[in-house]
């Protein structure tokens, strides 16, 4: 009897990128189609924390596409429709089927599909697709960031006073309890302006594109920032927790993403301590 050793070859970055982009566009097209039809809206934890049947359908759709091509990969998705234990997989896809569900329900703009690929905790590919505007932000580790195939480079030197920032801190209860919302209110008086779109993945992608100069959040889940983090970094931006620690790939964290020219000044201005790391 002869035994034949079978070598399983890891997929290339190109293969992972092509599937991530295909999944993002397909998911976006499905969300737009379902948006025009009646759909059910449910509450998660409160009236402001929504989930729709479309979120769940889109996530299942993306998972099917991934596992059909790579059945040995794991999935970490917001709607938890993947039945396996994601921690058992070296290669992990981190998915938010609709980031900005409230916008999806009310505005029908300013929402996005977020898909990232991590291998042993290292971010390889990130894709954030805005289907309402047909804008696809994506990046591959070591190969740069793009918006619809246009390279993104954060080369402009921006001071904190010139910066246009985006934040969700004002609506975070823990931030209010710790007084961080007051710090950010003072920050709003120092910078050029503050914005809120309601989709963290899209807001961070706008930082990569130079439409915003910085983004600050007290608490995001891994699927909120997993893809956009890679895009910002590959565009030359700086992404860490609010106290400067590396972001986890599978856990909740505070997030600060910005033009590197004023990163240290912004972090110093916020003047936070380690107990803010996993605000809720």
- What is the DSSP code (8-state) at residue 262? G
Catalytic status, residue 98: yes
Query: Tokens in use for 109?
Result: 């703009």
User: Long-range contacts: 83-86, Cβ < 8 Å, 24+?
Assistant: 86/250
Does the annotation mark 78 as catalytic?
yes
β pairing state of 74-77 and 91-99? parallel
pLDDT for the residue numbered 4: 43
Distance CA 18, CA 211 (A): 26
Catalytic residue among 98, 115, 180, 231: 98
- Residue from 73, 148, 130 nearest 65 by CA: 73
- Which of 55, 78, 203, 213 is flagged as catalytic? 78
Residue 219 CA, chain-centre distance (Å), reads 12
**pLDDT in single tens digits along all 280 residues of the chain:** 444 444 456 889 999 999 999 999 999 999 999 988 877 777 666 655 567 889 999 999 999 999 999 999 999 998 888 888 888 999 999 999 999 988 988 889 999 999 999 999 999 999 999 999 999 999 999 999 999 989 999 999 999 999 999 987 765 566 555 566 777 788 888 999 999 899 999 999 999 999 999 999 988 999 999 999 999 999 999 999 988 999 999 999 999 999 999 999 998 888 654 444 444 3
Which entry of 57, 59, 96, 130 is annotated as an active-site residue? 96
Cα separations in angstroms, 217 against 9, 47, 99, 115, 207:
38, 21, 15, 20, 13
- 130, containing H or E segment: strand 122-130
Which is catalytic among the residues 52, 63, 75, 101?
Answer: 101
Which token pair is 279?
A: 């605000």
d(CA 277, CA 202): 22
Is 49 tagged catalytic? no
224 in catalytic set: yes
Report DSSP state, residue 245. Answer: P
149 is annotated as an active-site residue: no
DSSP 108-174: S-S-EEEEEEEETTEEEEEEEEETTTTEEEEEETTTEEEETTEEE---S---GGG-EEEE-GGG-HH
Query: Can you give the pTM of this predicted structure?
Result: 0.89
The catalytically annotated residue of 57, 79, 99, 203 is: 99
Would you tell me how many other CB atoms lie within 10 Å of the CB of residue 20?
Answer: 26
């Amino acid at each position: 009897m002869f035994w034949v050793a079978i070598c399983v070859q890891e997929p290339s970055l190109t293969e992972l990128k092509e599937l991530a982009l295909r999944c993002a566009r397909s998911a976006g097209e499905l969300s737009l189609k379902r948006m025009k039809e009646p759909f059910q809206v449910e509450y998660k934890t409160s009236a402001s924390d929504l989930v729709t049947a479309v979120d769940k359908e889109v996530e299942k759709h993306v998972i099917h596409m991934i596992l059909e091509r790579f059945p040995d990969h794991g999935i970490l998705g917001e709607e938890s429709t993947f039945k396996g234990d994601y921690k058992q997989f070296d290669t992990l896809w981190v998915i938010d089927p609709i980031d900005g569900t409230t916008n999806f329900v009310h505005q029908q703009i300013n929402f996005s599909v977020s898909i990232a690929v991590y291998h042993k905790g290292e971010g390889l590919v990130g894709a954030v697709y805005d289907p309402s505007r047909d804008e696809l932000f994506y990046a591959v580790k070591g190969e740069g960031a793009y918006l619809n195939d246009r390279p993104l480079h954060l080369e402009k030197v921006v001071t904190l006073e010139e910066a246009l920032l985006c934040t969700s801190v004002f609506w975070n209860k823990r931030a209010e309890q710790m007084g961080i919302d007051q710090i950010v209110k003072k920050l709003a008086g120092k910078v050029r302006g503050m914005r809120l779109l309601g989709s963290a993945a899209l807001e961070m992608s706008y930082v990569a594109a130079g439409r915003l100069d910085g983004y600050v959040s007290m608490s995001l889940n891994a699927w909120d920032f997993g893809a956009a983090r890679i895009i910002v970094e590959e565009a030359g931006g700086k992404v860490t927790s609010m106290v400067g620690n590396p972001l986890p790939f599978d856990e909740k964290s505070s997030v600060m993403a910005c033009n590197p020219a004023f990163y240290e000044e912004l972090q110093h201005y916020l003047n936070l301590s380690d107990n803010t790391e996993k605000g809720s």
